[in-house]
Structure 1
Amino acid sequence: MDFEDAADELYAAPAADFIATRNQLAKQLKADGDQLGSTRLKALRKPTVAAWVANLLARQRPDDLDDLLALGDEFREATADLDGDRLRELTPRRHQVIDGLVRAATELAGEQGQKLSADVGQKLRETLDAALIDPAAGDAVREGRLSSALRHVGFGVVDESGEPSNVTPLTDDRRRAAQERRKAAKAHEDEESAAAKAEREQAEREEEEREAAIRAEAQQELEDAVAAAEQAEATVEELDAQLTEAQEALEEARETVRRVTAELDEARKAARDRQKESREARKRYNRL
């Protein structure tokens, strides 16, 4: 088992068992020699109820969730084209798909003994809406490892209720103009020179290298932190062993004190008896 498998298993566990499952999986990773994975797993946060039910939905209804993300792609295309008619057509579907997912999530949670409050239901709805609006949020929801519900404020030309806002229906002339702009942009992309492509690819490589350097630095920092934690743990174990030895020595010393005290008491008693016998012998001698 690696970290990714352990994380998937952790967030698939019942919410009430999250902490116990995390500890068990972290212990298993450490036993398998993956100290770094164990440390990363321990850092994962317990999901809220809304996040937990969103994760449950991602695992039990992946196809339905994919439909939501695909609908988000259509919304973004219509918004980019300023296609008000298309946005009005998509908006009811947005509500229908999210409503269906919330109902499915409520049923799935009920099967596991978890009743969803109105507040949790609203947070789930906001999370699904964020997944539709934002591709990164959609990927996070689809992964099924949320620890907190998500919320998106605004969708460009779509208001909070999901209706188109500040969008004017396209006239035929404006629609043709938009189509011509898309064709021109596509033609320009096709006609880019090899030099421009090479420059772009070089910039992408440099960005990848920068990101790799940042990841490597973060990895080193994490490894240093793990090493420091292991050293601290070793120090604690050493001090604990020293304390145990000191306690054992103290107990042995106390036992010696008790034994010597008892022997001293016996010796004092014997001395008193000898002194008494000596006095009586002296008295008998004097009477002779």
Structure 2
Amino acid sequence: MDFEEAADALYAAPAADFIAARNELAKQLKADGDQLGSTRLKALRKPTVAAWLANLVAREQPDELDDLVALGDEFREATADLDGERLRELTPRRHKLIDQLVQAAGKLAADQGQKVSADVGQKLRETFDAGLVDPAAGEAVREGRLSSALRHVGFGVVDESGEPSNVTPLTDERRQRAVDRRKASKAAEEEESAAARTARERAERKEEEREAARRAEAKKQLEDKVAAAELAEAVVEDLENQLTEAQDTLEEIRVTIRRLTAELDDAKKTAREAQKQSREARKRYNRL
């Protein structure tokens, strides 16, 4: 099992078992020699109720989510073409499809014994709408590993706390940029000179190299943090062993104190008895 398989299994687990499943899967990755994957898995957050239901829909209704993402592509194309008539045609489909997904989530939740409150239903609706509006959010919803519901605002996608969401995979982002570049340059490509194409390709290669360098640096930082975490765990384990040894020694001392106290009490009792017998013997002697 690798990290990706473990992450899929984790977010497919019942919400109540998330923490236990995460610990067990992380332990398994570590036992398999994947310390980095184990640390990454431990960092995954437990999904909120709305996120858990969105993930459930992703696993049980993948075709419907594909339709959602495809409809989002149509919206973006119509918007880019300033096609108002087409946008008016697509809007009712948008509302209908999101309604169907929320209803499907409600049925799946009922099968799992989970009630869907009005607040959770609204967050589900916002999550599916964000998946339609934003292609990266759409991929994240389809992936089925959300830890928080999503909401599209003016500057992008945010999670339930209102913080910017980091759901965008770099590989998907680069792929989307490439698609956008091809669409934008299709009409003018025949007129582009060989020199201009060479310059563009060189710029793209440099961008890919910079991206690779950023990813390598991020990986190094993560590995450094993993190493620091392992060192800290080793220190904690050593201190715990020392504490256990000290506690064992303290218990032995307490046992010795109890034994010596008992012996001292017996000795005092014997001494008192001997003194008593000595006084009685002295009295008998004096009467002679």
TM-score (structure 1 length as normaliser): 0.79
Partner of 1:257: 257
Q: Deviations over 1:161-216 (max 9, x none)?
A: xxxxxxxxxxxxxxxxxxxxxx9963421332333222222222222222222222
Q: Deviations over 1:9-35 (max 9, x none)?
A: 111122222222212212221222222
Displacement after TM superposition at 1:2 (Å): 0.9
Q: Deviations over 1:43-84 (max 9, x none)?
A: 111112221111111111111111111111111111111111
**RMSD, aligned α-carbons:** 2.7
Unaligned runs of 5+ in 1: 156-182
Structure 1 residues 70 and 258: CA distance shift in structure 2, 3 A: closer
What does residue range 66-215 of structure 1 map to in structure 2 within 5 Å? 66-153=66-153, 186-215=186-215
Q: Are 1:54 and 2:39 matched, yes or no?
A: no
Partner of 1:19: 19
**Aligned to 1:152, what secondary structure does the other structure show?**
strand
Displacement after TM superposition at 1:267 (Å): 4.7
Provide the rounded CA distance (Å) in 2 between the counterparts of 1:231 and 1:185.
Answer: 52
Displacement after TM superposition at 1:263 (Å): 4.0
Structure 1 residues 199 and 250: CA distance shift in structure 2, 3 A: same
Name which structure has the greater RCO, CA cutoff 8 Å, separation 6+: 1
Give the number of equivalent residue pairs: 261
Partner of 1:245: 245
Letter aligned with residue 69 of structure 2:
L
Displacement after TM superposition at 1:103 (Å): 1.9
Letter aligned with residue 230 of structure 1:
E
Letter aligned with residue 192 of structure 1:
E
Unaligned runs of 5+ in 2: 156-182
Q: Which structure is larger by alpha-carbon Rg, 1 or 2?
A: 1
Displacement after TM superposition at 1:253 (Å): 2.5
Displacement after TM superposition at 1:280 (Å): 6.7
Displacement after TM superposition at 1:102 (Å): 1.9
**Aligned to 2:6, what secondary structure does the other structure show?**
helix
Q: Deviations over 1:231-254 (max 9, x none)?
A: 222222212222222222222223
TM-score (structure 2 length as normaliser): 0.79
Q: Deviations over 1:82-120 (max 9, x none)?
A: 111111122222222222222222222222222222222
Provide the rounded CA distance (Å) in 1 between the counterparts of 2:201 and 2:212.
Answer: 16
Identity %, equivalent residues = 79
Displacement after TM superposition at 1:282 (Å): 6.9
Provide the rounded CA distance (Å) in 1 between the counterparts of 2:275 and 2:71.
Answer: 110
